Structure 1
């Protein structure tokens, strides 16, 4: 008996050692998600039921799940059965009253709401496809996005109908704009629900379009990326299986549904798990936790700088008891992408969140990563894998050396081929594509072959191969963790050195007085390269005292290489002033304005002089223009 007990103890100790050494638990999660995706997609293809409408139907007709809330919005709750009934009514209305046919693309210019979800799934129910439009867009950018979708019908939320101006309508003479008014809503209510035959939804190709979702358009016009059924399965199962969503979970998101994260990871992930989605109309630090508590949410969703905004907001105090409500919630898990390392631990500690599930994926990307983190070991990583899953992923992807002059992958002058960086080094992240049939992995941008081709790199490691360019600088470490470093183009060169804007913003974000730091490079007269500038938000609305400016300079010198210390500060009034609708820091406008006092919209400027930051104005700018200053 004793030897068997000792043998069992030894086996357990050996297994624990192997798990610690090789991170086998992370391998199990990875291969579990991958296997689930392959099984589900294969089963759906065989049954000709790739369309996610069938998953909603399954939940609605199953006695166990039919009465479970699926969508919760502003105090109203819709079970899976309720949602199915709404979807059939909306679908019949779209087909019979609006003439929408299978394979048609219909643009949804809509804020977050239950109606957004009903319209979206109704289009799937009749075999049509939705193009999700960023409801913030106006003028020429909105007209371009709608035209690129090829949609002949645009359904518009009354709340944003003012954006559809005569200018936009005139630019799209063949397009029908339908504002979903109370009268239209009444039409839907009076429409009988119709479940059309499976033939209208027939789709046997896993790479066929499921949704059209746009890139953010931070440096140009938004591009319509084709999101396939296979990628929809992957995104939703990363959340459902990878993050470990449970049927009794309530997943709260107020991130925009027009973006992949909220729609595909959020709503579709909830659908796969058979859980509930509580949707907020928009993000606000004043309402976020109130809505989380009202929904009894167990999972919250973040994108980009959301975690920073919540962490820098003042605590909510119960007016009756005076209690701090930061931890007055049921949240066990935060799911999202873009949580910065300088915010990560503060966010988790302040709100008492047990697990962070950080994702890495792009609207137009071909591979996704995740980091399920319950301790400080994974802080800041976008991917965390075991020995076997790391080996598998590094066969399908590569991080390659970048040419600093061109921002393109570096090529060997003799062979013309690219070069992988060593573990721990930074380079551009690439994903392997099937060279003979690229669309099996990358469907590209609808109607824009030039933009599609620009994302494909050929003859990378051997003649004839093909790889997807992410445009992201990344790094693997020796423990199987993957880190996002910066976007190519955001990194700038100064004094013959490459400066990572992400590295600098993270370092400055650790200063106790800094609420947000957005770093970028600016061109200066009579100077090569770009000088570092940081648009900064401080914790006080008052002009910074000399002591604080000296402290910021000292902190930068202590935490950054000398060449990376920002030469300029631009003081912004509030967090998020230069962010996109998906809470990503926007640098394009800031770079264009530079440090010309006439272009910075009245913001205070400072520059590094004699070891501290001092005011920078018209006189100093003229000195730069006259080559009277050498930095």
Structure 2
């Protein structure tokens, strides 16, 4: 006989469970948010107690000792263990220490595409305490030279497949920048080669005191972002930001037994920080591909027993646009982590490729806030809650579209929008949530900040993104303010495109703006120009294609034939609302 109190307790527990589901349906997701926020600080504290560097690099060195023979990287069928990558990066560090003249605190610009040596060079430079600037391999000419000069590097390291780009910029490159190419030999003048020097380099680790600082607010990377205006800016990435991003895989339930497939470019924060660094935090394995291939994607997943994939919205759409094949659900992928997937593509992706949990998140390279969609709510980029606001305060405020700035009332304060209305996402800047800005660009750094928002003396970061919050506190991306458009995962500055188009001798003036392209993701746009011709000569786009694409100035430029008209309307100052949730 059961005690008389057992049925009562059972009924009470069931009632509590039902009450929690009714009143607090996302309680466990909210608690996971809390654990994630606490996780990074706890991890760093534990490493300090163990006298380990509280950084991702420190974690990697430890793993190379604890699990030396576990595969860390798989590339083109070849396996690189944790020990292999550690040893190779030691050699890179030794070469640049003794033959490159580098010292702690120097900046090195890295122009490479996806390959193992990208990681070897990155980690080797980190072991010397250098700040590594990831250069976008798709940009060319003026934009590339601007990026290089803005981060003031002592060295420029270029991959073997980027030599054509090097030849183009070499005559205009600053003379005090040493150039190294990841080859065994080179016919280019005043260029150093790396691979031949690695052959005889010592495999011994450099002294630990040379590694990047233990200080979580020390700069370790520069990652370029187009932002909202002008040429790319070097976002300062610190140890703290790397640790936060690296915790993303763990936050979505990934473990050390997972295998992550990375096809996104390593010069972006998603692949480098969430992907590579995320695998290191877990002690997991990553499969790296040179570049994304829709036709080979699932073949690779099956071949390497992939369990996690990274995506951007375009990637998922490309996969859905592939011809249907038998066995498309015969894989081991369980999580897809990324951002920018459209709701209709989300549904089609799940229906076609099986029971894969879509882990959508929101974050910007230079930002101090992120949101995670733990619940898998289709269309949402994340969710806010009490715990999230406690650790990372943020708000959605009214935006004045006519003045192109946040709305302020007669008292000079900003106002929050109601749920269901689109508002500008802002995040509080304080000692716990700092904003590190852009390297060597105080003007652009200051432009991102909003002072005296709700009260005198407060400080917020302007994300540049319009968002909508529903009644369950899920967040939806609405639009991006400023002069940019997004194309194939790249934020493209209209000013940058305008400058390049204006370099043509048959263009007198050019005004560039983004237009929607049918069949592409809602956030993806091409550009259209309003031009003034010189001497009666029209704007020849095929000539632009031949001169600028083949000349390597705009890697994302693609010719399109057809006729478009610009839809014109009068703007009215009404609140934007989100009705499709």
| 1:211/1:228 contact within 8 Å kept | yes
SS in 2 for 1:205: coil
Instruction: Select the residue among 76, 84, 96 that pairs with 1:74.
Output: 76
Partner of 2:320: 311
| 2:421/2:468 contact within 8 Å kept | yes
Root-mean-square deviation over aligned CA pairs: 2.9
What is the TM-score of this pair, normalised by structure 2?
0.82
Closer/same/farther in 2, CA of residues 109 and 202 from structure 1, 3 Å limit? closer
Partner of 2:561: 603
Alignment deviations for residues 566-597 of structure 1 (CA, whole Å, 9 cap, x no partner): xxxxxxxxx69xx9xxxx7344x336579xx9
| 2:449/2:461 contact within 8 Å kept | yes
Distance in 1, Cα, partners of 2:566 & 2:382: 37
Matches within 5 A, 1:365-380: 365-374=367-376, 378-380=377-379
Closer/same/farther in 2, CA of residues 402 and 135 from structure 1, 3 Å limit? same
Partner of 2:302: 293
Partner of 1:214: 224
Instruction: Select the residue among 524, 540, 543 that pairs with 1:585.
Output: 524
What is the TM-score of this pair, normalised by structure 1?
0.76
| 1:45/1:204 contact within 8 Å kept | no
Distance in 1, Cα, partners of 2:372 & 2:132: 27
| 1:302/1:336 contact within 8 Å kept | yes
Partner of 1:349: 351
SS in 1 for 2:373: strand
Instruction: Select the residue among 47, 62, 79 that pairs with 1:58.
Output: 62
More helix per residue = 1
- For the pair 1:26 / 2:29, whether they are aligned, the reply is yes
SS in 2 for 1:267: helix
Distance in 2, Cα, partners of 1:149 & 1:222: 11
Shift of 1:255: 0.1
Partner of 2:476: 483
Partner of 1:628: none
SS in 2 for 1:6: helix
| 2:339/2:361 contact within 8 Å kept | yes
Partner of 1:302: 311
Instruction: Select the residue among 288, 306, 309 that pairs with 1:279.
Output: 288
SS in 2 for 1:140: helix
Alignment deviations for residues 461-501 of structure 1 (CA, whole Å, 9 cap, x no partner): 0011110000000111111211111101479xxxxxxxxx9
Closer/same/farther in 2, CA of residues 71 and 355 from structure 1, 3 Å limit? same
Closer/same/farther in 2, CA of residues 446 and 78 from structure 1, 3 Å limit? same
Closer/same/farther in 2, CA of residues 591 and 49 from structure 1, 3 Å limit? farther
| 2:104/2:130 contact within 8 Å kept | yes
Partner of 2:428: 432
Instruction: Select the residue among 97, 100, 117 that pairs with 1:98.
Output: 100
Matches within 5 A, 1:179-258: 179-183=181-185, 184-201=194-211, 203-216=213-226, 219-240=229-250, 242-258=251-267
Closer/same/farther in 2, CA of residues 51 and 128 from structure 1, 3 Å limit? farther
SS in 2 for 1:71: strand
Distance in 1, Cα, partners of 2:530 & 2:40: 44
Shift of 1:162: 0.5
Shift of 1:153: 0.8
Partner of 1:513: none
Distance in 2, Cα, partners of 1:103 & 1:15: 54
Matches within 5 A, 1:181-580: 181-183=183-185, 184-201=194-211, 203-216=213-226, 219-240=229-250, 242-315=251-324, 317=325, 324-374=326-376, 378-385=377-384, 387-389=385-387, 391-392=389-390, 396-413=393-410, 415-434=411-430, 441-489=434-482, 534-537=516-519
Instruction: Select the residue among 129, 132, 141 that pairs with 2:131.
Output: 129
Distance in 1, Cα, partners of 2:531 & 2:283: 48
Distance in 2, Cα, partners of 1:216 & 1:304: 18
Closer/same/farther in 2, CA of residues 239 and 294 from structure 1, 3 Å limit? same
Closer/same/farther in 2, CA of residues 398 and 4 from structure 1, 3 Å limit? same
Distance in 1, Cα, partners of 2:265 & 2:393: 31
Listed as ranges, the gaps of 5+ residues in structure 2 are: 186-193, 495-511, 533-537, 542-558, 568-581
| 2:135/2:224 contact within 8 Å kept | yes
Distance in 2, Cα, partners of 1:106 & 1:150: 8
Alignment deviations for residues 551-574 of structure 1 (CA, whole Å, 9 cap, x no partner): xxxxxxxxxxxxxxxxxxxxxxxx
SS in 2 for 1:475: strand
| 1:26/1:384 contact within 8 Å kept | no
Distance in 1, Cα, partners of 2:257 & 2:405: 47
Distance in 1, Cα, partners of 2:12 & 2:75: 53
Shift of 1:290: 2.0
Shift of 1:52: 2.2
Distance in 2, Cα, partners of 1:112 & 1:349: 31
| 2:55/2:214 contact within 8 Å kept | no
Alignment deviations for residues 512-551 of structure 1 (CA, whole Å, 9 cap, x no partner): xxxxxx9x9xxxxxxxxx99953224xxxxxxxxxxxxxx
Shift of 1:149: 1.5
Distance in 2, Cα, partners of 1:607 & 1:201: 56
| 2:515/2:528 contact within 8 Å kept | no
Aligned residues: 511
Shift of 1:248: 1.1
